[in-house]
Amino acid sequence: MKNSTQCPKCESVDIMQINGLIGQTQTTLNLISISSSEGVAVTRYVCSDCGYSEEWIVGKNLKKLKKKYRK
Ligand SMILES: [Zn+2]
């Protein structure tokens, strides 16, 4: 959905992008922890018709995650 902007399940184009950033309300907070004090934000794409969702790590957050978890 990040790349096609269309839901793969129901083909709706009504996609919401929800950024999991620090400082936003708890309902939108979505993080993967990389240390006791730091996490990277996960961006969610949600189809507003059927509810299907995808999660993506983008930009510099992906680099941080790689540094921490890549074998
Ligand atoms: Zn859908």
What is the 3 state secondary structure string of 14-54? Answer: CEEEEECCCCCCCCCCCEEECCCCCEEECEEEEECCCCCEE
Which residue has tokens 């083909």? 11
pLDDT score, position 67:
92
* Mean pLDDT, residues 13-23: 81
Give the chain's mean pLDDT: 86
Nearest to 49, CA basis, from 14, 16, 17, 3? 14
Task: Give the distance (Å) from ligand 1 centre to CA of residue 6.
Answer: 8
Taking every pair of C-alpha atoms in the chain, what is the biggest distance, in angstroms? 40
User: What distance in Å separates the CA atoms of residue 64 and residue 9, rounded to the nearest whole number?
Assistant: 31
Give the residue extent of every domain in the chain. 15-69
pTM: 0.77
Using a CB cutoff of 5 Å, list residues around ligand 1, an ion.
7, 9-10, 12, 47, 49-50, 52
Query: Does pLDDT of 19 surpass 70?
Result: yes
